[in-house]
Structure 1
Amino acid sequence: MNFFLETLRVIGLAIYFTLENFFLLFIPVRKKNVTGEIVLITGAGSGIGRLMALKFARLGATLVLWDISVEGNKETARLARKNGAARVHNYTCDCSKRQEVYQVADQVKKEVGDVSILINNAGIVTGKRFLDSPDAMIQKSMEVNTMAHFWTVKAFVPAMVASNHGHVVTISSAAGLVGVTGLADYCASKFAVVGFAESLAIEMLALGKTGVKSTIVCPFFINTGMFDGCKTKWPRFLPVMEPDYAAERIISGILRNQVYVYIPRSITLLVALKGLIPTKLGMLLGDYMGYFHFMETFTGRANKIEDNKSQ
């Protein structure tokens, strides 16, 4: 295709996609049916992971629950059955360990089948200024928050590619879009999974695997205990969200095949501004929004290095 025709094609499609996006603001997108889909959730033993499991249970999905906490995972499985899930399978898995991920993944394939919706949700946080962060916690943050995504995708996405059907859900964070004081290692790990998920989604398109969807979730603080003690300067604009609301928004985004889910929606404005305004103005607004002080009162969960669980 010559330059003129290709440019004309791009302009035409740009106009079409812009109009499509505008009309979709007013016309609800039809939600997909996940009855019978095999949904694997890492970090399912508590928090957002557990709430997503319960919501998928009500939708008729087959659940595969992974967590390092045996008791927490068993409780999620019990609650999922109570909420109507016909098939629930819970596995103990430390997602930071590559060989353990592969071993448990093989077990899932044999006992349950090919996973069609993969939700990478497990995460931990150090919550200290970088120079005060223990080396072990920095390394563990990268292993749980980033590297685990590589291993689960390697384990389960080939089957999605073969059938041209599936969905990879990446639970990142607003801290995967904007740097925050006291979260250097956490931000690094979450920036990394945003880049990974975007690249993976583009690879699927390049392969013509349009049936393999991607959803990248970037929430602000959620009141699950993981960020206990953190305060937001302007709660009307950036509220600390209740877990059920956040889980509902995530599930809704998955069912509508949304590529990005920003919670709250004000995150969208911050992302847009970051690329448009001068750096010094960005720093000024960051201070105004409280980025420099979010973590000053952080307490978090106890025994965080063992808490390879849910967001």
Structure 2
Amino acid sequence: MLPPFNIGSHYSQCYTKFLAALALLVFLGKTNSILSRWVANNWTSSDAWQPEREIAIVTGGSNGIGKQIATDLAVAGVRVIILDIHKPSSLPKNDHFYHADVTSSDGIRGIGKRIRAEYGGPTVLINNAGVGYPGSILEKPEIKIRRTFEINTISHFLLVREFLPAMVRQNHGHVVTIASMASFVVAGNMVEYACSKASALAFHEGLSQELKFYYNAPKVRTIVIHPIWVRTEMIKPLDLENSFQQTVLAPEMVSQAVVRQVITQKSGQVILPQSHISFSAVRALPSWLQEKVRNIASQTLKTVRE
């Protein structure tokens, strides 16, 4: 004769184990988040945030994401300096505009002197300026390939070389890199753009290491932002196509993420939207699965652009 089986007790034990496993996952998730935050911030806390002492440079701040960031920072009480080749249609209070070619080291050097003379040393640098041109490797003009790298990658080096030394001396500041989801997944027809954004990610990571080990400035924060498609002039032709069904963010969402990191003085990496965080792990997948992801991205673009 079989021993009696208590179904209620069995389910109770399963439920208890489930709750214990769930609690463990929550604990591990929070622990991971805390460790990531403290490691990214070099195990140091920042001084109290004082917006009136902050001066933020926003490249490409006359339209799109940059314009929204400049507006939101100004509302937060930060003095903002926009560097762009295009004059903004309007300037909020606390915002100032300088006509600038971010690919010119001489031009940046001259503007840097003017900014320091008029306002003091910038404490926040937001490398936002970016371009992207549709077209395959064989059909794209060389001048557009070079310009993509000059604006999306090389300008980061030039601007940091001009404005970082003062931050290092004060051990206070923030460098924001606007990268892209394309840092992780490259699709055909936008190869040089993806390359430039992968370079921007590498720049952010390398800068973080140099601040820690070469410049002894652990309180100079660095953050890299990886948005998926954003509703700007750059993707307007795609966005107008009914067949384009990808997630498209408003510039406000990207700006909110940037401003939040600046105000809370946090380093790290932000994926937008957060539901797409798995994209950052694509290169950890088996090769065949990586290729499948890239195939889907490429086929989507090809279908829309045809």
TM-score w.r.t. length of structure 2: 0.80
Aligned-pair distance for 1:297? Answer: 3.5
The aligned runs of 1:89-238 (5 Å cut-off) are: 89-206=96-213, 207-230=215-238
Structure-2 residue corresponding to 1:21: 33
What is the CA-CA distance between 1:188 and the residue it aligns to?
Answer: 1.3
- 1:183-229 Cα deviation digits (max 9, x unpaired): 11111111111111110111111133111000101111100121123
Gaps (5+ residues) in structure 1?
1-14, 300-311
Q: For the residues of structure 2 that align with 1:131 and 1:294, how far apart are their CA atoms? A: 17
Q: Any conservation in 1 of the 2:60–2:84 contact (CA below 8 Å)?
A: yes
Aligned partner (choices 265, 271, 274) of residue 283 of structure 2: 274
Which residue of the partner structure matches residue 63 of structure 1?
A: 80
Q: Is this contact kept in 1: 2:177–2:224, CA < 8 A?
A: yes
Q: Does the 8 Å contact 2:81/2:96 carry over to 1? A: yes
Name the structure 2 match of 1:292. 299
1:224-268, Cα deviation, whole Å (9 max, x unpaired): 121123369895xx5111121222122223333141111111332
Aligned residue for 2:237, secondary structure, equals coil
* Structure 1 CA distance for aligned equivalents of residues 293 and 49 of structure 2: 39
1:264 is matched with 273
Decide whether aligned partners of structure 1 residues 23 and 211 sit closer, same or farther in structure 2, where only a CA change above 3 A counts. Answer: closer
Quick check: 1:44 aligned with 2:61?
yes
Alpha-carbon shift at residue 130 of structure 1 (Å): 1.2
CA distance in 2, matches of 1:42, 1:221: 19
State the identity %: 25
Which whole-Å deviations, capped at 9, do the CAs of 1:81-119 have from their partners, x for residues lacking one?
A: 2xxx3xx32100011222111111111111111000000
Structure whose CA Rg is larger: 2
Q: Within 2, Cα distance between the matches of 1:295 and 1:52?
A: 32
Paired letter, 2:175: V
CA distance in 1, matches of 2:293, 2:183: 18
The residue number in structure 2 matching 1:54 is 71
- Given the superposition, is the C-alpha separation of residues 183 and 158 from structure 1 closer, same or farther in structure 2, using an over 3 Å criterion? same
Quick one: structure 1 residues 234 and 298, their matched pair in 2 at CA, closer, same or farther if it must change by over 3 Å?
closer
SS of residue paired to 2:226:
strand
Aligned residues: 268
- Give the whole-Å Cα distance in 2 for the aligned partners of 1:20 and 1:297: 39
Q: Does the 8 A contact of 2:229 with 2:235 survive in 1?
A: yes
Bigger RCO (CA 8 Å, 6+ sep): 1
* Whole-angstrom distance in 2 between the partners of 1:181 and 1:112: 44
Q: Which amino acid aligns with 1:159?
A: A
Q: Distance in 2 between matches of 1:97 and 1:295?
A: 34
1:112-160: CA deviation from partner (whole Å, max 9, x where unpaired): 1100000011111111111111011011111111111111000000000
Q: What is the aligned partner in structure 2 of residue 3 from structure 1?
A: none
2:31 alignment partner AA: L
Partners in 1 of 2:243 and 2:263 — Cα distance? Answer: 32
Distance (Å, rounded) in 2 between the aligned partners of 1:17 and 1:160: 33
* Aligned mates of 1:266, 1:42 — CA distance in 2: 28
Counterpart secondary structure, 2:271: strand
**TM-score (ref. length: structure 1):** 0.78
Cα offsets for 1:16-48 (capped at 9, x unmatched): 9972626999xxx99944333000000011111
CA distance in 2, matches of 1:154, 1:193: 15
Q: Quick one: which amino acid aligns to residue 223 of structure 1?
A: R
Structure 2 alignment gaps of length 5 or more: 1-26, 38-44
Contact 2:243–2:304 under 8 Å retained in 1: no
Q: Which stretch shifts more, 120-129 or 262-271?
A: 262-271
Q: Secondary structure at the match of 2:292?
A: helix
Q: Which residue of 2 aligns with 1:245?
A: 253
Structure 2 counterpart of 1:4: none
Say what the alpha-carbon RMSD is for the aligned residues: 2.8
